[in-house]
Amino acid sequence: MITGHNTDVRYGDVVLHVQTEDKGQGNPCIESLIYYGGQVVVAKRGNYTELLEEGKGDNEIMALMDHQHRTMIKAIQAGKFDEKIQAFLPDKTSLPQHDERPSFDLSADSTRTLDQVILEYLTSEAEQEQLVLMMEEDIEIKAGSDVDLTLRARSSKTGQAIGGASVNVKMISTFGGPQTLGVGQTNKDGTVHIPVTIPSVDRGTAALIITAQSAIGQQELKQLL
């Protein structure tokens, strides 16, 4: 199972959380959930059985997951889920007006539906190169433990390794300020090894935040402790 993505999206007066994860080859599905206030507002699932049948591996599955995650974010910004989101909002909470959203030119082909035009726009946006950060191994990460993190950075568009990316591992919590647990830089193969000691959590809640910064952008992984 491949490490997923978590992104907070500010949309008008609300903040939505988009989570996309691989359910594993035993259940070959990429699941994207949009949360508001802890409730699932929208769910999308994409099956990748065909990729496995074609002999594809983690790179192709990760590319599919990246594409679906970014597409969900762009669909929020395009107003595709307004009706579903509005049903969960308090009375006085507003979403962006139509003139605040991206415009779509239908004049080129009047036979296309708005959904088709939006899909083309989202697909084009999703093809832009971005940084992808993932853990090499599925390891248990918990408070009060020593963990050896091996991370890999690559391009979402080409799948090529991204060397020279700066990686920072921090713990944030409800009972204290952020703590830097380790830093590193990816080598020419796009990998970095960072051993960290995670402090114990006796009260409140905490999370591990792993951030990578490179010439093609930034990526972040989050893990609750």
Answer yes or no: are the C-beta atoms of 192 and 184 closer than 8 Å.
yes
Q: What is the pLDDT of residues 159-184, one digit of tens each?
A: 788 899 999 999 888 777 788 999 99
Residue 99 pLDDT: 46
Answer yes or no: are the C-beta atoms of 191 and 177 closer than 8 Å.
no
Answer yes or no: are the C-beta atoms of 65 and 51 closer than 8 Å.
no
Whether pLDDT at 142 is above 60: yes
Residue 167 pLDDT: 93
Whether pLDDT at 125 is above 80: no
Give residue 105's pLDDT band: very low, low, confident or very high (50, 70, 90): very low
220/157: higher pLDDT: 220
What is the side-by-side order of every strand in the sheet holding 146-155? 131-135, 146-155, 191-197
Residue 91 pLDDT: 67
How far is it, in rounded angstroms, from Cα 182 to Cα 155? Answer: 23
Domains of the chain, CATH where assigned = 5-126 (no CATH), 131-224 (2.60.40.10)
Whether pLDDT at 109 is above 80: no
